[in-house]
Amino acid sequence: MIAARGRVVARIGVMVGLVALACVSGGAAHVHERDTKWVAPPAAVQRTSPLAHRPDAAPGGRKLFHQRCASCHSPDGQGSERGPDLTARRVQAQTDGALFWKITQGNTRRGMPTFSFLPEPQRWQLVLHLRAIATPLR
């Protein structure tokens, strides 16, 4: 009787462990999945940054990034469990206008808040910073 009870407890322990592993693994995979429906409209993609030739505006973008974005995307922008790698090729290949649109609109389905409350020049500064942190495209 005691041996049978021990086997039941052991089976329950294994099942709980497998469920926990599935939850953790599924959650981690979910964070890194790309939302293929989160695409900037053509008009936004075509926008160009008014700060593109203003390197003096970049430090402001760095400060904003560390205040507003680094907690999810990490201080170097290379991602964490909470947010994707912003230095990755698929991000850096997007136009400034597309990045600006994504910063502005957010994607609450995936945990990206909207930053439309920031003044437009500050959102363009964030785009500048995203370009500055890009290592050679991966």
In a domain, 111, yes or no: yes
Cβ burial, residue 110 (10 Å; 0-12/13-18/19+): middle
Q: The domain that contains 115 carries what CATH number?
A: 1.10.760.10
Round the average pLDDT of the chain to a whole number and report it. 81
pLDDT for res 24:
39
Look at residue 55 in the predicted model and tell me its pLDDT.
Answer: 86
DSSP string, 31-65: HH---TT----HHHHT---TTTT-GGGHHHHHHHH
**pLDDT for res 44:** 96
Confidence band, pLDDT 50/70/90 cuts, at residue 123: very high
Same structural domain, 5 and 73: no
| 54 shares its domain with 72 | yes
Which range is least confidently modeled, 26-30, 43-47, 85-89, 122-126?
26-30
Shared-domain flag, residues 27 and 58? no
Mean pLDDT computed over 49-58: 92
State the sign of the Cα–Cα–Cα–Cα dihedral 101, 112, 129, 38. Answer: negative
108 with 75, same domain: the answer is yes
Structural domain that includes position 12: 1-33
For 65-95, the pLDDT digits (tens) are 999 999 999 999 999 999 999 999 999 999 9
21, part of any domain: yes
Predicted local distance difference test score (pLDDT) of residue 29: 36
Distance of alpha carbon 99 from alpha carbon 87, whole angstroms: 12
